[in-house]
Structure 1
């Protein structure tokens, strides 16, 4: 067999799935038959160097294995020809080649060792390796009933059924046989270099896949260091499938190169220059390996079309397909919020990836700019996902505290015999406890977690599969800031998502755009409002007049700052419109172009812009049409989301929830004092008191405050062009606060007048009914019937420079 160049080994990577989860090296393994050796931890497998581990399913053999003899019916994880390939495995650098089983059945292991497997047999009684292969849980392609139904169905054409029927090797049906097996190639440090999971009963890895995976990183180092393959390294070829088809692989000494392996940092643009196209059985380039380093740079400089392998990967991206099911991984939202930040701070990127699991669909795709501070994005995601549960749980805590205070189970602690202030602290405690520890089960795509940052192959496959990730996402969350629309990848993600969802209306419903300041602003507002009300309640000051002055004095600077923040947001919407109206692909920025298409090691990088342009042309027809979509549909969606959806009704209700909790404290104190009604028994509220308490909560928390906030938001957006100097902006913020104060005073005066006209607030339920009905209609009109903010969008069907006012769909 003629010698093969290193590129011949590298080219086989196209069909090799990566290892999603590292096998647990603390697992205790038992040598079989029992008594042949002591138990030992799995870490001993790689003490002397790389190891190959075959996890066997132990069920009816589902294919022919061309070994000298066939005894025992074990399979599911062993490649074709594994029995005779152990010498080649060890020659490639594997210090140990072991077969792993799940249970010790009588005579089965003995027959397996005598007629099928000459090497070590170990038992993994806890199924830890099997769970690792399945991504954290054991993979069962078929249950018992499904298996029997498939075998008895005369019309079934299952691959599993065909594999079982075509076997010529006697098998057995003893033991557990539905947990899928597979194999691992473990590096010297215990990390997986290659894995194969038995997707169907009867799948198997090929010996050359294990051999080539062991070779790939050393070959990469040979190319990078401009070394030649050692002349004393042999080339081994053997027939493995009984039909004469040969498989060949370059055998190199792993120990000579393994020490440099940890220094290799890979990415998509660093890998494609060593990959060459070809399918199994195709003619491979021949030589001593030096050709790999010769001309690879030229293939990149000539563009992706010059390299057939790169072309095939671009086709995968354009067709929105995933390279392997193991690459499509999502992270549970609660893990991203509770566990990932600490690992990210420690730069443990591999540990973050271990928090993910394989999935066929994402609930959310988080699109963001790497230029934005990480803590801003974290708080934003925390509020968006846990804010509503925190509001509900906090309110339940406040109601529970109200009931316990009312029944006397909670003591007085506010300085006098009737100072019951438990509802607001309980609500605050419940809110922030839930906000931090709520376990949202949604699966999200977060690039730093779901893309393996420490494995170059998995990282490359994930980048190529980005279109599939967007297509399989139920919604897209855009963490927007001023740099978002200037980044090519960000706009590409947004355009790809809109393309994958079809019509404009459908795509717009699946899209959520949220500025990164929203989470911090809302949480700061909620916390400040909570502390403000808590200080007022503990002080036991009457609301009129000194209590109102205390609240106003403490709230005034915070409200001015909040008004200034809202005005800045409105101005940023205008800036964004100018950016998107003038959007061109040439002006957008990408990391590869910023560094001159040269990686950290001085090597050439493939231009992301050229690949993205290929996808854009395939999806939209041309880059000009894509730019028109960005200036039209994308701009319309962005402005609609930023101007009408950021400060939504329920978000404002969440932020003003402490007002409702404070009302509970005030009324609980009134019930205990007996000061509300002269002829009432202290401690026992009358029906009218209960009605007035419910009225106060609904009126302030669900009507007055949200409606006033919407009016001020519309005024802020209308005044976004007023004044560019800082002093003018501060005066404008003061004006908005004064308008809000005036609205509150007007509502209170109208409430008093209405109470006098209807015979008093405390005596007649008609008052509460009339006020709630009127305010409810006004609130409904403001939030549902007011036209949404319109955005001026260029009409691409007219001449350049002409614009038309296109109304955005209502909220």
Structure 2
């Protein structure tokens, strides 16, 4: 009964085993017997499937995607620098090419990468049509969890209300302790994908418009001098980017505030948790009838309560265990933000853009500008960008309380969005002040990079400080 499958099997065709229940009934042959489970996937079948699949793709294919994309950019720029590819492209055109190559390579890798990590996914590793094998698999879930090195919790609003989900977390916690529990909200996967695509779009737009501006300088067009065309294009780009950024931050604020309120509800619910009153099982919601065949199916709750008596001594002992142990784990989520490394990876288009610019300076023997770029790139990619996003998440977390009217909710989300704009302007103002005061030579850029990284590290530490829980979260 101890079986695993390769992660890429579960994520095949954008997670088809997780999306198509009828198709997933035939996937038992994709699993094999093993002695240990590298990671047990615990998830709710009633949350957003797209968000769940995106989270898993980010976790298993995200790093390979960024590495392959960056390698493709590096190879392209090296070949261009050696004039094995067309090397007459000007600075913005080269940046556009770098971002385009990185976006294409990373996107293909993100979708097609075949992770071989062995995981336990119930729909594959437990037989879905042979009732005897299925029953044996269900009864042995506790043993599978004991043999698992880690537990990945794909957290959404429905997770803590599902009987199986609570059982899996409780059984793993009792067998292995808190060390291997890895809770990831599904909203993080969606946020990272949106961030990566937005960064790619902004960098591509800026480089393309910049290239047109440079190429059209001094050229006569129907609008007059080509310089005027360039400024018009910048105005059009700005008129699209600014409202688009405001709307994007507004929607992100809405989603993040809902997520933090959900975490508050979970923490409060776990303080008085009762498996009888606070969880539901799928079999009871369908009147114990298989929706595909119409056959009678056994009640999971009856089976699992017997297992709980064997594992914990009584159902009440399990309830108390959840109240005391599991609630402590979820309290940590009230101060958590998207991991720093994820934000850095999502900001890779920024690296690719400036790598193209730096390569152009090297090709034109402008070595001072190339050296300045070597300090400018990490300032924004590794420090300012991630810190800006974590500051925004911290702000949203502290105003997460649900307002009494829809109008007030919109105003709060809009306020968060506007504050996000001011946070960006604050970083941009500090950068402009530094360059005006100390210049833009290499020593000044190196000092700027050091100061910015230090300040941003302190800000990120402050963002992780806990805030008061909201007792009336809804």
Match runs of 1:415-494 below 5 Å:
419-420=93-94, 421-494=96-169
Mapping 1:330-341, distance limit 5 Å: 330-338=4-12, 341=15
1:664-703 matches, cutoff 5 A = 664-669=355-360, 683-686=364-367, 688-703=368-383
Aligned-partner SS, 1:715: helix
Structure 1 alignment gaps of length 5 or more = 1-326, 673-682, 795-811
Q: Distance in 2 between matches of 1:349 and 1:784?
A: 44
Q: Does 2:453 match 1:776?
A: yes
Q: Aligned residue for 1:734?
A: 414
**Alignment partner of 1:583 is 2:273:** yes
Against the structure 1 CA distance between its residues 478 and 747, is the aligned structure 2 distance closer, same or farther, given a 3 Å change threshold? same
**1:182 counterpart residue number:** none
- 2:427 is aligned with 1:766: no
Per mean C-alpha deviation after superposition, the further-off stretch among 624-633 and 379-388 is: 624-633
Deviation (angstroms), 1:438: 1.8
Report Cα offsets for 1:575-621 as digits up to 9, x if no partner: 32333334212212123443555677888764433332333334334
The SS at the match of 1:380 is: helix
| Equivalence for 2:204 | 534
Could you report, residue by residue, the CA deviation over 1:348-389 in whole angstroms, capped at 9, with x for unpaired residues? 446422222211111111111121243332222111111122
In structure 2, distance between residues paired with 1:518 and 1:411: 40
Gaps in structure 2 of 5+ consecutive residues: 215-229
Separation in structure 2 between the aligned mates of residue 576 and residue 387 of structure 1, nearest angstrom? 29
* Aligned equivalents of 1:340, 1:548: Cα separation in 2: 34
TM-superposed CA distance for 1:698, in Å, is 0.4
The SS at the match of 2:11 is helix
Give 1:497 shift.
0.6
Corresponding residue of 1:569: 259
| 2:322 pairs with 1:652 | no
- Aligned mates of 2:247, 2:59 — CA distance in 1: 26
Distance (Å, rounded) in 1 between the aligned partners of 2:432 and 2:45: 54
Structure-2 residue corresponding to 1:752: 432
1:616 partnered with 2:347: no
**Are 1:328 and 2:2 an aligned pair?**
yes
How high is the TM-score relative to the length of structure 1? 0.51
Query: d(CA) in 2 for partners of 1:567 and 1:664?
Result: 36
Q: Which residue in the other structure is 2:386 paired with?
A: 706
In 2: Cα distance, 1:742 partner to 1:460 partner? 57
Q: Deviations over 1:446-465 (max 9, x none)?
A: 11111121222221221111
Query: What's the offset of the Cα at 1:565?
Result: 1.9
Secondary structure at the counterpart of residue 612 of structure 1: helix
In structure 1, how many angstroms separate the alpha carbons of the residues matched to 2:144 and 2:417? 45
SS of corresponding position for 1:514? strand
Structure 1 residues 572 and 346, CA, compared in 2 at 3 Å: closer, same or farther? closer
Residues 746-805 of structure 1, C-alpha deviation per residue, up to 9 Å, x if partnerless?
Answer: 2222223223433x11x2x332232222222223223346554357699xxxxxxxxxxx
RMSD of Structure 2 on Structure 1 (CA) = 3.0
Distance 2:14 2:386 in 1: 35
**CA–CA distance in 1 between the matches of 2:146 and 2:426?**
51
Q: Secondary structure at the match of 2:154?
A: strand
Q: Deviations over 1:191-216 (max 9, x none)?
A: xxxxxxxxxxxxxxxxxxxxxxxxxx
Q: CA deviation at 1:418?
A: 7.2
The 1-side partners of 2:426 and 2:135 are apart by 62
The SS at the match of 2:47 is: coil
State the partner residue of 1:231. Answer: none
Contact kept? 1:632, 1:793, Cα under 8 Å: no
C-alpha spacing 1:703/1:512, structure 2 compared with 1 (3 Å) = same
- Structure 2 CA distance for partners of 1:451 and 1:386, relative to 1, 3 Å: same
Task: Check the 8 A contact 1:582/1:631 in 2, yes or no.
Answer: yes
Match of 1:517, SS? Answer: helix
Q: Which residue of 2 aligns with 1:102?
A: none
Identify if the C-alpha distance between structure 1 residues 437 and 768 changes in structure 2 by more than 3 Å, giving closer, same or farther: same
3-state DSSP of counterpart to 2:64: helix
3-state SS in 2 of match to 1:439: coil
The 1:418–1:534 alpha-carbon spacing in structure 2 relative to 1, beyond 3 Å, is: closer
1:631 — aligned with what? 323
1:789 is matched with which residue? 466
Cα distance, 1:638 vs. partner?
Answer: 2.1
Residue aligning to 1:360: 35
Residues 635-661 of structure 1: per-residue CA shift (max 9 Å, x gap): 221232x33445110111122221221
| Higher relative contact order, structure no. (Cα contacts within 8 Å, ≥ 6 residues apart) | 2
Instruction: Return the alpha-carbon distance in structure 2 between the equivalents of residues 336 and 598 of structure 1.
Output: 26
Partners of 2:129 and 2:246 lie apart in 1 by 50
Q: Deviations over 1:664-685 (max 9, x none)?
A: 233445556xxxxxxxxxx113
Q: 2 CA distance for matches of 1:346 and 1:431?
A: 29
Q: Distance in 2 between matches of 1:348 and 1:719?
A: 43
How far apart are residue 331 of structure 1 and its match? 0.7
- 1:52-109 per-residue CA deviation (whole Å, 9 max, x = no partner) reads xxxxxxxxxxxxxxxxxxxxxxxxxxxxxxxxxxxxxxxxxxxxxxxxxxxxxxxxxx
Q: Call closer, same or farther: CA 1:342–1:564 in 2, change over 3 Å.
A: closer
Give 1:150's aligned residue: none
1:719 to 395, 399, 419: 399
SS at match of 2:4: strand
**Within 1, Cα distance between the matches of 2:425 and 2:21?**
52
- The offset of 1:701, in angstroms, is 0.9
Q: Cα distance, 1:422 vs. partner?
A: 1.4
Residue pair 2:387, 2:456 contacting (<8 A) in 1 also: yes
**CA–CA distance in structure 2, aligned partners of residues 468 and 646 of structure 1:** 33
- 1:510 is displaced (CA, Å) by 1.0
CA distance in 2 between counterparts of 1:586 and 1:417 reads 65
Question: How far apart, in 2, do the equivalents of 1:659 and 1:441 lie?
Answer: 30
SS at match of 2:93: coil
Whether contact under 8 Å (1:566, 1:716) holds in the other structure is: yes
Distance across 1 between alignment mates of 2:254 and 2:306: 43
Please report how far the alpha carbon of residue 475 of structure 1 lies from its aligned counterpart in structure 2 after TM superposition. Answer: 0.9
Matches of 2:190 and 2:244, distance apart in 1:
20
Say which SS state the counterpart of residue 583 (structure 1) adopts.
coil
Within 1, Cα distance between the matches of 2:459 and 2:139? 46
